Amino acid sequence: MKQDLIGVVGEDNVLDDQASLGSYGRDESFVLPIKPRFVVRPGSEDEVQALVVWANETLRPLVPVSSGGPHFYGDTVPSVPGAVMVDLSRLNKIRRIDRRNRIVVIEPGVTYAQLQPELAKEGMRVTPPLFPRANKSVVASLLERQPTLIPRYNYALPEPLRNCGVIWGDGQKFFTGESGHGPLDLEQQWAAGLRQVDPKGPAQTDFFRLLTGAQGTLGIVIWASVKCELLADPKKTLFVPADTLDDLVDLSYRLTRLRVGDELFLVNSSYLATLVAGDAAEIPALKEALPPWTLVIGVGGRALLPEERMAVAEKDITAEVAARGLRLLGAAPGLATTRVEAVLDGLAGEPHWKLRYKGGVQDIFFHTTLENAPGFLSTMMSTAQAHTYPTGDVGVYLQPQHQGVSYHCEFSLPYDPTDAHETANLKALFSKAGERLIGQGAYFSRPYGEWADLVYNRDAQSTAALRAVKSILDPNNVLNPSKLCF
């Protein structure tokens, strides 16, 4: 087997030392650690395709991964023994930057650290999720449907992901979206003036939608086109403090409805403190100093008349905030603005900010409409209490998505993974909270780890439909088997 793999990717790109296997075989989540048999690092689309073809011939499971660690949700940990990790980090070319059409075409190994500075040269960026790590793959983030920061640009949840080149589980190469109309060669498409903008199709299937949220179970993406936003300049960050989440609900609805402002999210003091802290020691004091809740909103100017644009946005936001008896501040109380800006504009270093407080974290996240978020919060807190988890440690992050129609609601639970008792307790809390939240109507649209069973058991028809899709795209079930419902 090793020789087969060496034949595809070269000896330097096949790893089977215990350290490497160990690092790919577990992550921060509670999924059962299972080491892969090999790690391979293909350097081209053809090598990726050859690997998948080989996997079909030998019925070896492949688990694709593009980002460096830490990984949090178990999607890149093999769920079966004997897997081959397909580490796509060597496919790291930025294939094309197109300012006029604001489209960048990248390979899966391209990270935010690599991409954003290059795009900045053209006055653009890819709308990021909240404080991604530098080694996070942009394509992976988008395929995971990680929520991005600017609700008004989130025309659909997969935004800004547009077209993909993919090797399906059966080994064939395919282009999604408008690129699917061909020719099946990006250079030829560019020469013909085609720009991989529209994500829909081809035909009557949104193939790219089958790839999002799939945790690498249906295909391995080898390139993606991504819509860019113009960099805002000038820009500033504003803060609306509040005592309770309920105090901010109406304002958040209104601001997203008006599509005013850029970045917009709601965080509690625990989450915000963890986000901006330099180290663990800072966090308790920051939590105390920060308001219990903050709505963070960025304003910026782009294209023509940027200063005026920012000023008008700020004016309109001010009016909305004032109308609700809230305060709009240029800085979060107890926090230097630059720290927040560093988060909004920058990339997380190491150790990962989520891990700084106690060394470990479990996130519970799902989709909801905003009005239901306080109810879910209540459930989370009562479940935490029931498991003697300090509720003051529960971080809450609400990210409006789809221009405000739905929200990513995230509960972040830091803990000390070296403490066996604490870990066991958190595991129980994690499972219980997930169960209760799902039962309450939280929609786990990204069903990682143990949520998969809960989610797919709730929706028999979707499960059947997805299994039909899987049987077509990966008939031999070589891609990340035993994930999701396959």
Partner 1 sequence: MALPQEAYQALEDIVGAENVSNDAAVLDSYAFQWLADLVRPNLSHYMPRPVAVVMPGSTEEVQAIVRLANKYKVKVKPHGTGWYHWAAPIYDDRDSLQLDMRRMNKIEIDEKNGIAIVEPYVIHAQMHAEAIKRGWSCTIIGAGCSCSVIAAACAYSGIGPGTFWMGGQAENVLGMEWVAPNGEIVRSGSLGSGDGWFCSEGPGPSVRGIMRGSLGARGGLGVYTKCAVKLVHWPGSTDWPVQGTIPAYRLPLDETFRAYTLAVPSWEAWADAYYKIYDNEIGYIFHRQFNLAGADLAPTFWLMYNDHTKTLGDVPDMIKQPGMAELTEEMRISFQLVMAGRSVADIELQDKVLDRILEEVGGWKVERYCEKDMAEFTNIYLNRLGHKHINFVWVGGYIGSWMQPGTPDWVKEYVPTAIAGLERDAKDGLLVQCGGDAMMGTGGAYPGGGVMGLEQFVSYDPNDEASTRAGIKHMEDAVTDAASIGYPPGKEALYLEMGHSDDRTFKKWANAKQPFAFIFQRKIKEHFDPNDLGDRMYNYIPEEYEPAKKA
DSSP 328: -
Which residue of 1, 80, 156, 428 would you call a contact of partner 1, by CB under 8 A? 156
Q: Partners of 61 in the beta sheet?
A: none
Which residue of 67, 406, 412, 476 would you call a contact of partner 1, by CB under 8 A? 406
Closest CB to partner 1 among residues 123, 392? 123
- State the DSSP string of 401-469: EGGGTEEEEEEEEEE-TT-HHHHHHHHHHHHHHHHHHHHHT-B-SS--TTHHHHHHHH-HHHHHHHHHH
Give the range of 5-13, 56-64, 392-400, 454-462 binding partner 1 by CB under 8 A.
454-462
Minimum distance of partner 1 from residue 142's CB (angstroms): 12
Closest CB to partner 1 among residues 338, 471? 471
Amino acid (1-letter code) at residue 450: E
Which residue of 324, 427, 436, 458 would you call a contact of partner 1, by CB under 8 A? 458
Amino acid (1-letter code) at residue 255: L
Closest CB to partner 1 among residues 111, 406? 406
Minimum distance of partner 1 from residue 286's CB (angstroms): 33
Minimum distance of partner 1 from residue 70's CB (angstroms): 22
Binding track, positions 11-50, relative to partner 1; x by CB under 8 A = ----------------------------------------
For residue 312, what are the CA distances in angstroms to 229, 254, 301, 318, 409? 19, 16, 10, 10, 29
Minimum distance of partner 1 from residue 42's CB (angstroms): 21
Nearest partner of 182 among 208, 203, 161, judged by Cα: 203
Give the range of 286-294, 381-389, 403-411, 425-433 binding partner 1 by CB under 8 A.
403-411
Binding status of residue 329 toward partner 1 by CB under 8 A: no
Residue keyed to tokens 């008792």: 421
Amino acid (1-letter code) at residue 394: V
How many CB atoms lie under 10 A from the CB of residue 363? 18
- State the DSSP string of 258-308: HT-SSSEEEEEHHHHHHHH-SSTTHHHHHHHHS-SEEEEEEEE--SSSHHH
Q: How far is Cα of residue 286 from the mean position of the Cα atoms in its chain?
A: 26
Spatial separation of the C-alpha atoms in residues 141 and 108, rounded to whole Å = 10
Minimum distance of partner 1 from residue 159's CB (angstroms): 9
Binding status of residue 121 toward partner 1 by CB under 8 A: no
Closest CB to partner 1 among residues 42, 261? 261
By the 10 Å C-beta count (0-12 exposed, 13-18 middle, 19+ buried), 439 is classed as exposed
Minimum distance of partner 1 from residue 2's CB (angstroms): 26
Which residue of 145, 235, 287, 339 would you call a contact of partner 1, by CB under 8 A? 145
Amino acid (1-letter code) at residue 305: L
**Site residues for partner 1, window 344-383 (CB under 8 A)?**
367-371
Which residue of 7, 32, 58, 101 would you call a contact of partner 1, by CB under 8 A? 101
Minimum distance of partner 1 from residue 173's CB (angstroms): 9
**Site residues for partner 1, window 257-316 (CB under 8 A)?**
257-260, 302-305, 308-309, 312, 315-316
The encoded tokens of residue 468 equal 């039909």
Q: Partners of 281 in the beta sheet?
A: none
Q: Partners of 411 in the beta sheet?
A: 364, 396
Binding status of residue 150 toward partner 1 by CB under 8 A: no
Amino acid (1-letter code) at residue 346: G
Minimum distance of partner 1 from residue 347's CB (angstroms): 25
* Count of residues near partner 1 by CB under 8 A: 96
Binding status of residue 324 toward partner 1 by CB under 8 A: no
Burial 230-257 (b: 16+ CB within 10 A, else e): bbbeebbbbbbbbeebebbbebbebbbe
What angle do the packed helices 269-276 and 337-345 form, to 10 degrees?
80
**Site residues for partner 1, window 183-222 (CB under 8 A)?**
183-184, 192-195, 197-215, 217-218
What phi, psi does 111 have (nearest 5°)?
-100, 170
Binding track, positions 424-443, relative to partner 1; x by CB under 8 A = --------------x--xxx
Binding status of residue 444 toward partner 1 by CB under 8 A: yes
Minimum distance of partner 1 from residue 207's CB (angstroms): 7
Minimum distance of partner 1 from residue 484's CB (angstroms): 5
Q: Is 65 helix (H, G, I), strand (E, B) or coil?
A: strand
**Site residues for partner 1, window 217-246 (CB under 8 A)?**
217-218, 227, 230
Binding status of residue 319 toward partner 1 by CB under 8 A: yes
Which residue of 32, 117, 120, 155 would you call a contact of partner 1, by CB under 8 A? 155
Closest CB to partner 1 among residues 121, 421? 121
Which residue of 116, 141, 412, 445 would you call a contact of partner 1, by CB under 8 A? 445
Spatial separation of the C-alpha atoms in residues 347 and 113, rounded to whole Å = 7
Give the range of 53-61, 129-137, 251-259, 381-389 binding partner 1 by CB under 8 A.
251-259
